[in-house]
Structure 1
Amino acid sequence: MPATVPRWRRAVTGWSFAAPFTALFLVFALLPVVASLVMSVTDLRATDLRHPSRSTSSGSTTICGCSTTSCSGGPRSTR
């Protein structure tokens, strides 16, 4: 009579075969799509790479989680 393999061991074996595909799919297919969606609603300029928290999205400038239309700090400087 053949020995029965525990159910958890079969599950681990199956996931170990699926793990490389899942990791590669996330890195090379899903992450670029999500990144392009984020970039499509964000106005990034060369100066924003130094201060990414000050990037413009959806027509308003966000500085530390506060929109410039509601902050008393005034418009963003062009340093």
Structure 2
Amino acid sequence: MHPGFWLFLVTLCLTEELAGASRDSVLKHVKENEQKKKKAKEKGAWVQLKRQNVPLTEAHFVRTDEKEPELLELVHYEFIAL
């Protein structure tokens, strides 16, 4: 078989797995919203159903203990089309 076929197959499997996880999170969110709506309706109260942004984390300093920073270099590679 052509080597590109296996690359395509692996990419396809990974894409399907990621899409499945995303779909599961959406379905979970919908179920949670339905439960929240039902409880709010019983109490006669308003409920927030939209997802809220995660608050920013507090800033902090990173200490290097007076060590010199390590410089990173690019890894050179050659792209070969199949």
What TM-score do you get using the length of structure 2 for normalisation? 0.31
**Larger strand fraction of residues:** 1
What TM-score do you get using the length of structure 1 for normalisation? 0.32
